[in-house]
Structures are given as C-alpha cells and as structure tokens.
Structure 1
C-alpha cells in the first residue's frame, strides 16, 4: 500500500467511495449513519466533498495503483465542532473503498494522520463519527488509539468526538 498526497482532483474518488459506503451500510440495515441515498445525488454533500477536497489536506491510500481509501485532515474542526485553544490536526473525512474493507487501509491512513501531526509539531489529533449503530464506528476509532471525549448532535444525527495525543512522548516505547 502506498499513501500519496491528494487534492481537489480526488473529489470524484472520494464521492465514489462514499456512495459505495452508503450502499453497503443501507444493504446491511445501517442507514442511520449516512442515509440510503448516494451522496453524489445530494448537491449539498457534493459541494461539501468538493470543499474538503479543495481546502483540506488529502491523503489517498492506493493498492496496486488503485485508490483504496481517502483521508482529509485540517488544522481546524468542522463548523459543528467547537474549536479548542491548542494546535490540532482534525480528520475531516476517512473512507475506504468497500473492496478493501478489512485490509488495514483506514488504520494506515490514521497512522499517516499521526505522522503528519508529529511533523507539524501538533500534539492532538481529533475526529468525529457517527455515534449510533451500537457504537461500531466509535469502537473502530478506539481500536486505533482514540478516546471518546464528547457526544453531540447535528439535527437528529448522533455524533461522537474522539481525540488522541500524538508526538514524541506518546510514541515512546511503541515501536
């Protein structure tokens, strides 16, 4: 697996992965996270992804030259999350192509976010996710080193904010 820097040109790849994730979630009775309609059919979501691809730092995981996952990071959280009084790196998007589910793509991208935070001298990495669905996504992030710090709602959508400390102190003894 290779992780390359991405950008605005990767918005269609991001949208296709999100559409695939929505279809998979809906097929498994889990439409609470993102609904059951493709993201590409909702102009607000299309614009949101175009904005993330344009404004955030994009990283694309590729397997044999094929996009397997995409992550976006930003020095600030999205508008529905309160800013904090210390530098941070915020994961604004993390999605894996369903063909690569269970192959460690998401974990590799989270590892890249940790590396980027360290390189920038930032000691805090945060992410938010869907808090419903029996907490499956929250547990995924916990397995990847995050701890839940707050619950929130966007309309009726239940979210969880998670964080982890990164940096030389946090990485000692974890080779």
Structure 2
C-alpha cells in the first residue's frame, strides 16, 4: 500500500470513528461532554438544582463525608466515601480514596507557593485542570463535611499533607446533604 493510500485509509478510519462515537453519544441520555459542559456558578455552597445537574453530569468528584456504614446503605451519584473517623485512624481505604481524587481530577500537578515575608502560602494549579470537589454529609446540621474539608486543606504532616494539593476554593458544600436528596429523589 502506497504512502498516500495508507494516509487516506487512516483519515477514513479516524473520521468514521468520530462519526460513530457522536452517534453513540446522541443515543445516550447524557450530555455530550465536549459540547455541553454544565454551567454552574460555584460558590462555597451548592443548592439542590445545581447539585442534581452535577450528579447527572458525573464529571465532578463528589465526596460523601458520612460514616462508612451509612455510605454502604446508600450514596448520591458517583460519590466517594471519606469517613473522617476512619481517616483519623489513617485507614488505608480512605487515604486511597483521597489519592484517587488527587490523581483522577487534576490535583497531582499542584504545588505550594510560599510567601516567607507574610508567612502565607497558596496552592497553585499548574495546568488549570482542577475539578471542583463537592462534599456532602447528612444535613445542614452535620459538620463532618466542613471538618473533612479542613483536613484536606491542612498542610501539617499528620494526614499526609493533602493541603499541598487542595485549597479552600477547590471545595463546595451541598448543605442539604443525604437527607434532602433522599427525601426528594429516593422516595
């Protein structure tokens, strides 16, 4: 096969693959990720309608901060459980869950920029590829989600310095939590 025929053949395969891929995505009940990223204004807190869009889109990491046994009984969307009680015990599964978020959602290229004069630091995202992490607990009265975020942005040695990967602005809370979600979507 000559070089030009081979080149045309490869182009044909690539174009056919793209067309078949787009046809496949059009048959699914999900948005096509390149053309229809959900547009949500991220603040410190996420409301139910925005959270529902996030769960349906499945492109943002969601952390369930409830205890492990509650997580096993049910969770929202593709949530990953990080039980702070088990994290205090340096449970290997909880540490692996955090590391999975760091690697899978673009946090592994971050570094800390330290300002010695002001004794401050900031986490810098080199590639601009960090995903916002959504954290929820039981309900607005549950403070486990806030406690977990504080652990994840902590720069001390105790938890493995997750603070070098995360900053406070990387997180949003779904305050309604499992109770609100369960009462509306699971009943």
Q: What TM-score do you get using the length of structure 1 for normalisation? A: 0.30
Larger relative contact order (Cα-Cα within 8 Å, sequence gap ≥ 6):
2
- Based on CA coordinates, which of the two structures has the bigger radius of gyration? 2
In terms of fraction of residues, the more helix-rich structure is: 2
In terms of fraction of residues, the more strand-rich structure is: 1
